[in-house]
Amino acid sequence: MGAKLQVRLTDALNAQTVKAKVTATSWEQAVEVAGMVLVQANLVEPRYIDAMKKTLRKLGPYSVIAPGIAMPHARPEDGVIQTGFSLVTLVNPVTFGNAENDPVDILLAFSASDKERHITALKEISVFLSNDGLMRKVRTANSNDQLLDVIRDFERINN
């Protein structure tokens, strides 16, 4: 992957970037919350949120990558400050319009500053999101601390 520093998912998801049991009534609201977390962690400029929504409208809801799980994102030039991730869970699932994988109650949004730095984290995401036991815990976590406990569980399994 070259000499560029890789971001690890288990570092990127921390007290600043996870949010459990958010109330949202539409996919737009859910994406706004996941995007706001990135803004508040100083990973993206506010315009990145609109870019994520615009992308979803234009290219369709394919960012719902697995049953109940969406991975919204935009491009580096849409206001990325640095590569990072946010994990948001919803009280009530929302519909994105994806025939296979709706409705969604887990959002893993990301900002990529280039095409390399987030690759290690993407590999980790693939392992994390395909672990049904961990996803059950993510869905039942009632607080940010409980959500972080799941990340720590994953870190132990994955290392």
Partner 1 sequence: MIIATLCGMGFGTSMLLKLTIDDVLKEEGMTNYQIIPWDLGSFKGQRADIVVAPMDMESHLKDSSATIVLIKNLVDKVEIKEKILAAVNSQEG
Q: Report the catalytic residues.
A: 73
By CB under 8 A, residue 55 contacts partner 1: yes
The three-class DSSP label of residue 144 is helix
| Pairing state between β 84-94 and 18-22 | parallel
Q: Is the peptide bond before 61 cis (omega within 30 degrees of 0)?
A: no
CB of 38 to partner 1, least distance (A): 14
Number of residues that bind partner 1 (CB under 8 A): 30
By CB under 8 A, residue 16 contacts partner 1: no
Q: Which two tokens stand for residue 18?
A: 């996870």
Tell me how far apart the alpha carbons of residues 126 and 139 are, in angstroms, rounded to a whole number: 17
Q: What is the identity of the amino acid at 91?
A: V
Among the candidate windows 13-21, 31-39, 85-93, 99-107, which touches partner 1 by CB under 8 A?
99-107
Nearer CB in complex with partner 1: 129/141: 129
* Integer-rounded Cα radius of gyration of the chain: 14
Nearer CB in complex with partner 1: 98/144: 98
Residues 19, 38: contact at Cβ < 8 Å? no
By CB under 8 A, residue 48 contacts partner 1: no
By CB under 8 A, residue 156 contacts partner 1: no
Q: Which residues contact partner 1 by CB under 8 A?
A: 55, 58-63, 65-67, 69, 71, 73-75, 98-101, 110, 112, 115, 118-119, 122-123, 125-126, 129-130
